[in-house]
Structure 1
């Protein structure tokens, strides 16, 4: 279960009500919310962990889910405030562009008259072209991003409903001799971006602090096929926060998040977008938030425990993901602090605890998903069958398999599959009888720890759980310990990772 109680209000309430209204897991809303709010802050703020170690609120987040699981509505809801603001910015730009066109026409006429006139007159001042303020982009090429970032020192959010093209693009650009992959790693750390172009007015574009947050979705099989060994070696995979939430059976509902909750989230995004840089020697610089003494103590304790976890990691890819979560723990704490108080100048112990706990959750989720990527065919089939039985309520008959799963077309194959699960200790047989008729009694397989007497998990019906609002994290600040958040649920639908 996604630990939404770690989030501050009003964001926690927005995620809870929106996911309940859509009928999806809370992580599907929470991940793009994190990226959106981190991008809204942009390079105006950074957290100082010690001299020389600054972390910007750049967040790359990806929801892994099949089609039809409501991932797109969740993605859209999380981005709505930024899209509304971007629409306003485009309107302002079009108006400014119209004024500029009129001004440039007057300038050219005046300059022409001055050249023809017998009396020398002061040269007219050439109008400056307006700049379009950008919050969102969809083009993932660095060549397209460079001029946008040069005009928008705050940074932008790359928001794509399907991230497959962005992930696959790293290989494509490298094969053409480009350096997009290396540039993107700089964008994650709000580092320096220098791009030399063959065309355009500015042949060299240099951005001191170039920041791009990322959010989107991808289907499980596509993720498995796209996330190659090269992406793990380059560090892309380690920087990508992932969640593969459990699927629920959809039910029609007329529910929606309340207008007050939506307004609260929109106001939070607006407050973060209003933050400004401080003037630096070479251009805009971030306001640097420091840790309170208690926060520094809590950070040190988590850092040491996390370092031991990295050292004990069983594979290089796991160690790399854990290493990047060091940065994310601090970034989460920064975002949480500014949600609660946009004028904050320090990060407190409570924000550090919650940021570290959220990083622990993402660590568990990454390890679980990486395990899915490394499955052999036999293990994958067994897991998929287990997950399908779980969705059916924890109890099935061989006939259920033959009628619903193409992998088991005959009764003998279904019986053998379930018998294999019994031998593996995953369940037991139960004789269900035959209702007083003739013939062999029906056997039913009961999954160990299953819910044989319950119905499959469903999304809440209209009005169900409407009053179940997450508790305010401020009221539970002493109840959330670092590392206390358990690993996510693993229930998934059969076939989701069929292309691994």
Structure 2
């Protein structure tokens, strides 16, 4: 787009033209990422996930991330892993993941296909819950009749046989216990309600949100501090939590185990990450360990065939098996000092332990160095626990038992390499969103919609689409300044660049570029 002639004329022949620095391109290229190899997937899920990806003509990442998160959710606290041979360090199976893709990329339909097995298990549990409730109501009605008869008999015994005999008569009739509502999946619940679900389901629960960043944005509100605290605690899968409310009373959850999966768009993720890291930096961003932002293939091939029934049957059987794990059959151990809420666990096999320990030594050296940005270092520090979790999920979904195998650790380490490349793209995208805001401002500069100089407040007052929030405008102006398209000039009052009243001067060389 050519600059507005009247604006360009102001700079033509200006004596100060050569004094301006040469502008540089805005930094708005995505960092490269690794593709997801089918070998990363557990054997029982591989063919099924590949079949969905091929039939839907979408990247394998869009299927694999929700598939792995739901597998971890079904494992939950049924069994954990102790990543060292002698310590009590414990990791459990729950995972948090997010798929990042543009609108229309089939990320939601792909997730729906991948979550079909856990949805089926949830539906079967709902039917079992209905039958249990019906049986409970019959038992409750019978109890009332028995209680009436017991009251009459106790009165007779009290006068004839004494107090103890009457007491025995009353104690002989017991009220039926209300059935526990078994749950595996939810899509929308308040933190308090989610806490009640977690209390009734100590093995774990999965939350699926189609637009995940809307949930995270909501939790950043000051009035949601308690809800955010619940989610931050639930990520570990092993910590307890207590709600104290006047209306609900006290709800104590011995251990909260929550898996989270959702999708989002690139711009929304970039904006959220930038603002969360700037305002809060509370670790919520870093909890999205299974974040995938794949490249679009750009190619379409018509695939119209039936699903691979054998692969689908094997995957469904795998998920059903994970939902009914028996730690004894898996040769798990128990720690007598863990108490009633302890988690049975596996450890690494000898060769697997050696490989994990070697990898961790390299990770710790990287974290101690200065090559990583602070946010990315914080993100990768959580790989200490992520790799054991992924090893456990892959081990069990490979239909293995006993000590966690070398094969499972190798799969987990390949996951870590893949996920790190996507995390790098996600953290680098914070400047991508700045560049988008910068380009939006610059389009109006070239049209002559803004004077020279102009201020942040001048942009905000226009009410242009995508440029209403002061924070986004400021980020765009900063990106333009960093690229030498604009130059902030302190005011006479001594204000520094970035304030609403700071004037920004337009680089005439940028207009000609």
Which residue number corresponds to residue 212 of structure 1?
Answer: 258
Instruction: Report the TM-score when normalising by structure 2.
Output: 0.69
Larger Rg: 2
Cα-to-partner distance string for 1:432-457 (whole Å, 9 max, x where unaligned) = xxxxxxxxxxxxxxxxxxxxxxxxxx
What TM-score comes out, normalization by structure 1 length? 0.71
The structure 2 residue matched to 1:157, chosen from 203, 206, 213, is 206
Deviations 1:181-237 (A, max 9, x none): 222222111132222332567x22222321111111111222223334435711111
Aligned equivalents of 2:437 and 2:151: distance in 1?
82
Asked whether the 8 Å contact 2:212–2:263 carries over to 1, the reply is yes
CA deviations over 1:395-448 (Å, ceiling 9, x no partner): xxxxxxxxxxxxxxxxxxxxxxxxxxxxxxxxxxxxxxxxxxxxxxxxxxxxxx
The RMSD of aligned alpha carbons is 2.4
CA distance in 2, matches of 1:69, 1:283: 46
Query: By percentage of residues, which structure has more strand?
Result: 1
Cα offset, 1:130, TM superposition: 0.9
Deviation at 1:167, TM superposition (A): 1.0
What is the aligned length? 378
1:62 maps to which residue?
A: 98
Q: Does 1:43 align with 2:100?
A: no
1:78-93 counterparts in 2 under 5 A?
78-93=114-129
Compared CA separation, residues 236 and 101, structure 1 to 2 (3 A):
same
Are 1:325 and 1:363, in contact at CA under 8 Å, matched by a contact in 2? no
Instruction: Provide the C-alpha distance between the structure 1 equivalents of 2:41 and 2:386, rounded to a whole number of angstroms.
Output: 14
Pairing 1:260–2:260 present: no
CA contact (8 A) 2:242 2:252 kept: yes
In the other structure, the counterpart of 1:135 is: 184
Alignment of 1:1-400 (within 5 A): 1-50=35-84, 51-115=87-151, 119-120=156-157, 122-123=169-170, 124-172=173-221, 175-176=222-223, 178-198=225-245, 203-230=249-276, 233-240=281-288, 241-247=290-296, 248-276=298-326, 282-310=339-367, 311-342=369-400, 344-375=401-432, 376-377=434-435
Other-structure match for 2:450? none
How far apart, CA to CA, are the structure 1 residues paired with 2:259 and 2:195? 14
Aligned CA distance change for structure 1 residues 165 and 108 (closer, same or farther; 3 Å):
farther
CA contact (8 A) 2:80 2:344 kept: yes
Q: How much has 1:250 moved relative to structure 2?
A: 4.3
CA drift at 1:9: 1.2
Unaligned runs of 5+ in 1: 382-500
Query: Gaps spanning 5+ residues in structure 2: where?
Result: 1-34, 158-165, 329-333, 440-513
The 3 A distance-change label for structure 1 pair 379 and 127 is: closer
